[in-house]
Chains A and B, each alone.
Chain A
Amino acid sequence: MRARVFVTLKPSVFDPQGRTIADALHSLGYGTVEDVRQGKYFELDLKTTEAAQAKALAAEVADKLLANPVIESYRIEVD
């Protein structure tokens, strides 16, 4: 199975890169873009056919390494 992990800064943490990207989009005329949060994306190829197991494993490695829980949160999709 493949697990996709999306890591972003927590909502409470200021994201200066996201802010700068939003400002750049505004200068391009995209005034309807209110805010941008940027982050990291990981694809994990897993030796399992069980979705629940894949999700649990992805969460475990996200907690241990892919995300820093002090500043980041993550979301997982599996298929």
Chain B
Amino acid sequence: MKFAVIVFPGSNCDHDAYHAITAVLGHSAELIWHKDTDLKGAHAVILPGGFAHGDYLRTGAMARFSPIMRSVAAFADAGGPVLGICNGFQVLLEAGLLPGAMLRNRDLKFHCEHVHVRVEQTDTPSTLACHRGQVLRLPIAHGEGNYFADADVIARLETNRQIVFRYTDAAGNVDDAANPNGSVAAIAGICNEARNVVGLMPHPERACELILGSCDGLLILQSIVQACRQGHLAGGSKGHALQPA
């Protein structure tokens, strides 16, 4: 299958994603410049980490005006799997494809470390190969990952089971000390109502080989492959029911 990895000016994890998909997973990927409008037949789209458009104004704020984002929105609307990683998650928030916004980390520090996240939902194309409650060890590298939404939105996310990943300790317990940035409800990742668009702050693409300290990120990329094999492709029905692992 084929992934599209979107390249904004300032993206710096695009090649990490490309490497994980092609060299590790053995699938094809195409780097697509933000001024293009064609996703070139990709079955899934990745918005990679970095500092799109220099993070001018707000993180991810300018990227929504890139021409490719209209195609990404149409792809998402048609049910295609979209994964936003770190800055890619911030872009999805600013583009309105996911609810909420990011604030500076509560301690104002840029955090670059491995953290634990618990998989809360497995009926998204990005978590299909995981088990509910599974704890993944993934790296984070961000200064603005402090997820915020008002209480009504958080309640809706809980009701609709849209909180996909939470920061936990190694045993999978939500603990404020294990929350690296102050995110409300320990949110590390969410999905849209149709469940095909997922954003998360940790970097699964940087955790696909043992030499990098963790292989847990492979599960997320493998989930997308598995979801596509099950027919969760662009053009499929919205909210297509997936069979969790």
**Residues on A close to B: CB < 8 A?**
9, 12-14, 16-17, 20, 65-66, 68, 70-71
Contacts and interface: CB of A to CB of B under 8 A. Distances in A.
Interface of B: 57-58, 61, 93-94, 99-101, 103-108, 146, 148-150, 182
A25 B150 CA distance: 30
7 contacts: A9-B103, A13-B148, A16-B107, A20-B108, A65-B61, A70-B149, A71-B101
Interface of B is mostly: loop
B10 to A, nearest CB: 18
A47 B150 CA distance: 37
A16 B148 contact: no
A16 B183 CA distance: 13
Nearest to B64: A65
Contacts of A65: 57, 61
Contact of B148 (A17, A66, A70): A70
B27 to A, nearest CB: 35
B101 A68 contact: yes
A66 to B, nearest CB: 7
A20 B108 CA distance: 9
B108 A71 contact: no
A13 B103 contact: yes
9 closest pairs, A vs B, by CB? Answer: A70-B101, A71-B101, A16-B106, A68-B101, A16-B104, A16-B108, A71-B148, A68-B58, A20-B108
Contacts of B99: 70
A70 B184 CA distance: 14
Nearest to B62: A65
A16 B105 contact: yes
A15 B211 CA distance: 38
A66 B61 CA distance: 9
B106 A66 contact: no
Nearest to A67: B58
A71 B144 CA distance: 13
A14 B146 CA distance: 11
Nearest to A42: B57
Contacts of B146: 16
B108 A66 contact: no
A71 B103 contact: yes
Given A66-B57, A70-B148, A14 B94 contact: no
A16 B58 CA distance: 16
Nearest to B146: A16
Nearest to A66: B57
Given A9-B103, A17-B108, A66-B57, 15 more contacts: A12-B150, A13-B148, A14-B103, A14-B106, A16-B104, A16-B106, A16-B108, A16-B146, A16-B182, A20-B108, A65-B61, A68-B94, A68-B101, A70-B93, A71-B148
